[in-house]
Structure 1
């Protein structure tokens, strides 16, 4: 079955995906979800390593690899590399997350491939960058979370470093790579030339530290753990109610005044300990204790309704089941039900961005390893006799 675009937005582009595990496949998924013809290149079944997310039938793998086609090629053999290069001749994008030395050894580095396809956008995702003292180190999400500073500001004060509950460095590295690819494709429309797009888990993590980096580079501070409370905007954080916990975010003077009124404490507005943002920061422990004491007089639902009605941001703290049960989440329609020919009905999360004319959808569920090998090679001009010979020789 030929390419079925998930959107018309990127449907004219073909992507050769040489990545594995999570960061690279996330970049490929982003492009596939917007319609690119993403061809996932994997080692043949008998040669594969542990390159899947929980096994090919696992939920993680099924979520990550939808909207792609799959081909197997033995890249340890010269003919496998030759077939790959033939595919790349007419591709728009190559995605890879090998260690920096591997692509050079295989002869599929950017400098080599741009000679056969000058318009190629070649995207590399690594742990630490393509050059430098750590370039050859293995890179994984939690390593980047630690080295990029995230774990030093996550968790309760004095608790010690804490990782976040998702592979945020992998995910952001993949999303930034896809973003870089789209920027390069836009630039190619003017210049006609491709280029090498590079990012790393460490770079992604440092960038995502956002205002915490500014505190360090501009203010000269070393941010620490603030637990469930915002480090600079008080009161913002997790508060206990009569029957659970809620998040409250109070930003700005007018919102602070509304909040004080709803809490039945208009005296806070003039109190020297809470009159200004800086005073609230100094006296945060006193103020948070006062807020929590008053909140425990009523339920979470009561306060969520009361505060939101006053224009003060407030929300419940959900587990994943509760998150999907939220009426607004159901209204947004991000969860799509699809039918896998291999595994039956599935519910998968769609893209968090809506385009009015060229929306994204899940047009194809995750393929089995090599499911489209002969289809794609036939599209590239290989005849049946050649395909049979290559299969017998273990090329795919």
Structure 2
């Protein structure tokens, strides 16, 4: 979908039963379409090919041989059985960029099913998500799937750039587990270089304080102090200027070591006013702070900042509300042409270039 937003003509090849996420409901939108499917399938045309049938595999092959990019997320070896593996296609279409997305790579993990929840568990993300006294917790969205898709886009774009100079495509491989390990950044670095795996800390940060949720008179909000200057302004605002010079809290390293004591002192003062009061006061003073919004409030907040977070697509009389592409380009902005397609909606028209694509 990211590639389609940026101008690619994307043809979604589905089995006769359709993409599994078509049936991942509820919730559904006003037309009865599942909102999960709708979230990642705009700007695509859908055709049906039964790859187990020779005719269907042949149609997919014809399409692949005319394509700039092929993306597949079968288990390793599956495309070879259909005569659609990279080596075979590249022999006839040497400029093809062929992207394989797997759960655990093409080696010893080739047989493992790649589902986001599973990878969050075995990849360590759940071990650092949640409160210390809670069970390991998944992130509230299929974050590993999203990160892997973004890595695929980067790899594809890099391969296309190389092809611009050489005329030759290549294979791009990304997998869920490697994408997650890369995205663990500082937590993975800590485990790798100290030999000690980080543990769940709730909303606290292992290396910065105060940098977490705090409780005001009416509920939680976030303070995200990133340096000593911000901490000094915070203590002044709260009427506790002495804390900035206290050896326990004067520098970030000290604050991290004494975070529980610091939290208790700050929260005792924060409980005297509602969250909105503190957010406004801190923001005015240049202290990073904000409410804990629900998703609807988050979208409204982005709109209030003129970020245009929502795009409405009208296609063949149907309307779809979509979160806008986050990339802004001055000359070639994202395009929103097609609402998420019905299964096989564009059968027979797949060989024609879509209007306005490149």
TM interval, shorter chain, is over 0.9
Tell me how far 1:163 sits from its aligned partner. 0.6
How far apart, CA to CA, are the structure 2 residues paired with 1:378 and 1:174? 26
Q: Do residues 163 (structure 1) and 173 (structure 2) align? A: no
1:319–1:117 Cα change, 3 Å: same
1:386 corresponds in structure 2 to none
Tell me how far 1:277 sits from its aligned partner. 1.7
Q: Do residues 263 (structure 1) and 217 (structure 2) align? A: no
How far apart, CA to CA, are the structure 1 residues paired with 2:183 and 2:158? 19
Q: Do residues 221 (structure 1) and 193 (structure 2) align? A: no
1:53–1:312 Cα change, 3 Å: farther
Deviation string for 1:337-363 (max 9, x for gaps)?
222437x33211111111111111321
Could you tell me which of 99, 123, 128 is aligned with 2:75?
99
2:3 corresponds in structure 1 to 31
Tell me how far 1:113 sits from its aligned partner. 0.8
1:306 corresponds in structure 2 to 281
Deviation string for 1:22-62 (max 9, x for gaps)?
xxxxxxx1111111000011123xx5574535268211112
TM-score by length of 2: 0.92
| Unaligned residue ranges in structure 1 (runs of 5+) | 1-28, 380-396
Q: Do residues 81 (structure 1) and 51 (structure 2) align? A: no
2:29 corresponds in structure 1 to none
2:326 corresponds in structure 1 to 352
How far apart, CA to CA, are the structure 2 residues paired with 1:370 and 1:135? 30
1:372–1:328 Cα change, 3 Å: closer
Root-mean-square deviation (CA, aligned residues, Å) is 1.7
1:178 corresponds in structure 2 to 153
Structure 1, 318-327 or 90-99: larger mean CA deviation = 318-327
Tell me how far 1:101 sits from its aligned partner. 1.9
2:85 corresponds in structure 1 to 109
Are the equivalent residues in 2 in contact too, given 1:101–1:136 (CA < 8 A)? no
1:10 corresponds in structure 2 to none
Report runs of 4+ in structure 1 exceeding 6 Å deviation.
none
Are the equivalent residues in 2 in contact too, given 1:340–1:366 (CA < 8 A)? no
Tell me how far 1:276 sits from its aligned partner. 1.9
Q: How does 1:363-378 map to 2 (within 5 A)?
A: 363-377=337-351
1:274 corresponds in structure 2 to 249
1:150 corresponds in structure 2 to 125
1:329–1:122 Cα change, 3 Å: farther
Q: Do residues 362 (structure 1) and 336 (structure 2) align? A: yes
How far apart, CA to CA, are the structure 2 residues paired with 1:53 and 1:236? 40
Deviation string for 1:206-233 (max 9, x for gaps)?
1110111111122333111110111210
Are the equivalent residues in 2 in contact too, given 1:236–1:249 (CA < 8 A)? yes
How far apart, CA to CA, are the structure 1 residues paired with 2:279 and 2:18? 51
1:351–1:276 Cα change, 3 Å: same
How far apart, CA to CA, are the structure 2 residues paired with 1:216 and 1:53? 39
Tell me how far 1:327 sits from its aligned partner. 5.9
Are the equivalent residues in 2 in contact too, given 1:324–1:330 (CA < 8 A)? no
How far apart, CA to CA, are the structure 2 residues paired with 1:327 and 1:172? 22
1:24 corresponds in structure 2 to none
| Unaligned residue ranges in structure 2 (runs of 5+) | 26-31, 354-358
TM-score by length of 1: 0.84
2:103 corresponds in structure 1 to 127
Tell me how far 1:302 sits from its aligned partner. 1.2
Could you tell me which of 274, 285, 290 is aligned with 1:315?
290
How far apart, CA to CA, are the structure 2 residues paired with 1:271 and 1:239? 21
Q: Secondary structure at the match of 2:350?
A: helix
